[in-house]
Amino acid sequence: MGIFRGGLLVVASVLLFVVFLTGNVLWTLDKSLDYETIKPELVSAVKEAIGEQIDLNETVGGEFEMMKTYCVDNSEYVLSYGDFEEVFEIECEVVAQGQDAVVEYVLEDFVGKVYNGQVEGINFNFAELKNSINSYFYYALIVALVLFVLIFFLAEIKSNSFILTGSLLVISSLPFVKIEKFFSFIPFEFAEYLVIFFSKAYSIFLTSLIVGLIILGVGIVMKFFGVGFKLFGFFNKMKSKGKVKTVVVKEKVVSGKNK
């Protein structure tokens, strides 16, 4: 392998590792920001935020009889409270399920608004952030495929491109096995909130590790069969030479008898 070609292979490999690492971070953020994944944390935060302004159970309890009466002839009840800026539209089907169901519905409705950035005073949109991260993740995936193709053509032994790619993917997955330990060393209070954004780190670690091992295994199998085919070809050549010599000897013997 020429020096220039070898240098390009090294650069492409380093870039592929960086892209794998970046892709794993983006993938972790994307999965951790799924609504159902982050919902428990948001519910806890919302309960605390609402609790500072109103007693939700008391508010619903105070209006519950009115809700039931109103829902006799209507399909939904609008709940609002004093200085609390949010208004909740409660379906009468929920009211029919009882006071606790109404409280749960209001909480989930507020959590949904927080997730989608629809609450005044909260300038953070989890859904929009997730969509942006998802787009960047697919960009990283495309770049990784391009770099793999480049490495495949730069490698003289093609099986090495799979072995190298699989190894890099496995190595890039390792930091995610215990990423919460890393955040524990950050001397800032907001570090504990970063764990929420990396709640799916371990599952991403497992997925990347398995995919990396599969790619690595493909490379090893290719290398094994490559050596096997070479040996097979070598023995075939040896047999062919042996047959040629036998034929030559037989021809000489036959020609000698004819004389």
Q: Domain extents for the chain?
A: 3-73+106-221
Q: What is the DSSP letter of 17?
A: H
> Across all residues in the chain, what is the average pLDDT?
81
pLDDT, mean of residues 118-142: 88
Angle at 255 (CA atoms; ends 254, 257), nearest 5 degrees: 65
| pLDDT digit string, tens, across residues 205-256 | 999 999 999 999 988 988 887 654 554 454 456 556 555 455 444 555 445 5
When comparing pLDDT for 13 and 58, which is higher?
Answer: 13
Looking at residue 231, its pLDDT comes to: 46
Q: 169 with 20: CB under 8 angstroms? A: yes
* Sign of the dihedral defined by the CA atoms of residues 191, 196, 199, 201, in that order: negative
pLDDT tens digits, 84-110: 567 788 888 888 888 888 888 888 888
What the block records as the tokens of 250 is 């037989």
Closest by Cα among 160, 149, 183 to 28: 183
pLDDT, tens digit (0-9, with 9 covering 90-100), for 66-84: 888 888 888 888 887 655 5
The answer to whether the Cα torsion of 27, 33, 35, 37 is positive or negative is: positive
How many other CB atoms are found less than 10 A from the CB of residue 52? 7
DSSP string over 195-244: HHHTTTHHHHHHHHHHHHHHHHHHHHHHHHHHHHHHHHHHHHHHHHHHHH
Res. 138 pLDDT band, cuts 50 70 90: very high
pTM of the model: 0.76
Q: How much of the chain exceeds pLDDT 70, in percent?
A: 77
The per-residue pLDDT for 212 is 95
Mean pLDDT of 11-33: 94
In DSSP notation, 164-188 reads: HHHHHHHHHHGGGTTHHHHHHT--S
Predicted confidence at residue 87, as pLDDT, reads 79
Q: Tell me how far apart the alpha carbons of residues 236 and 242 are, in angstroms, rounded to a whole number.
A: 10
How would residue 139 be classed by pLDDT, with cut points 50, 70 and 90?
A: very high
- Which structure tokens are listed for 117? 């950035």
Higher-confidence position of 44 and 201: 201
